[in-house]
A = this chain, B = another copy of it.
Amino acid sequence: MISRRSVLTTTTLAGTALIAAPAILRGVSSPAMAKAPIVGTQGPSFYRYKLGEFEIIALHEGEFTRPLDASFVRNAPLEAVQKTLADAFLPTDKLTISFTAVLVNTGSKLVLIDTGFNDNGGPTNGRTVAAMKAAGIEPSMVDTVILSHFHGDHLQGLRNKAGEIVYPNAEIMVPEAEWAFWMDDARMAAAPDAMKGAFQGVRRVLAPSAKDVKQFKWGQEIVTGITTVDASGHTPGHTAFVIASGNAKMMYVADTTNTPVLFATNPEWKVMFDMDADKAVATRKRILDMAAADKIRLAFYHASFPATGFIAKEGAGYRFVPAQWS
């Protein structure tokens, strides 16, 4: 009988002996190792799809994993949340929230909707620019950046940590109601301490560009083919966008749901991030009902990449059906 240690030593010695053999006889590396390393991370991920004459490019910003506790869904027992996750073959002790921005190439303009974190987030996100570059587009080519709302995962990536605008040639378009809320000094002063950071974060990004930012109302075609839709509730100015080219139409619904696995399945559940949760529920049901009835393609910020698909009514809620990759 030989000890584990002696086996390891033998293996190591054998490996060394093989590496010392002429590499040219055996290919580029030792037969004890694969000729490509295990990378352990995803590559920059983008996904192109056609919408009439437009091309939509889903850009994988990344994700954030948080421990799952009872605070995440305000009005459902933790066990019910865990059951929904288990039914979707997901872990029940933590929740990975995905981020996917949307780039619209209208043929005359490159329009980015939502920006991710850039270098203001963590190690598992901030990949929007890398995904864009992998798709052949430089940030300097972007003509317009539209923000759906002013939560950090949508807005912080407009300006990097060093303070520079990431899309130097882009006009910036934001919801008027969102601007009114977050840029109100009195409201910031009155906000609970836990929320002051969110106000400050918005100002870090937008205050230096304040005079150039274009504010939009709902129901406006702000770029040819892109029309704003009131989706408030998640935040006061939270906006969805109908994107249309010819007869083809889709809707980017931003945070109308957080992950659809939980909140399409259970549209009445209130995620901790919904600022007016009752209104958010009403908005969610209105938009998902419309999507189910019209069979319109949706894109979500927090669905699994490429985060685009359809909504089917199912039971008391909805099922998100990812579009076929093509």
Contact = CB atoms under 8 A, between A and B. Distances in A.
Interface of A: 27-28, 31-36, 38-43, 45-48, 50, 53-55, 60, 63, 87-90, 96, 98, 105-110, 134-137, 140-141, 143, 169, 261, 295, 304-306, 309-310, 312, 321-326
19 contacts: A27-B140, A28-B141, A33-B107, A34-B105, A34-B143, A35-B141, A36-B141, A39-B48, A42-B48, A42-B326, A43-B134, A43-B135, A87-B312, A89-B309, A98-B325, A98-B326, A304-B322, A304-B324, A322-B322
B325 A45 contact: yes
Please report whether the interface of chain A is mostly helix, strand, loop or mixed according to DSSP.
loop
A109 B43 contact: no
Contacts of A309: 89
A34 B98 contact: no
A41 B48 contact: yes
Given A38-B105, A42-B47, A63 B136 contact: no
A108 B33 contact: yes
Contacts of A27: 140-141, 169
A55 B43 contact: no
A143 to B, nearest CB: 7
B36 A136 contact: yes
A66 B285 CA distance: 37
Contacts of A28: 141
A169 B90 CA distance: 39
A110 B89 CA distance: 28
A107 B34 contact: yes
Given A27-B169, A34-B108, A108-B33, A88 B48 contact: no
Contact of A34 (B41, B48, B63, B106): B106
Contacts of A136: 36, 39
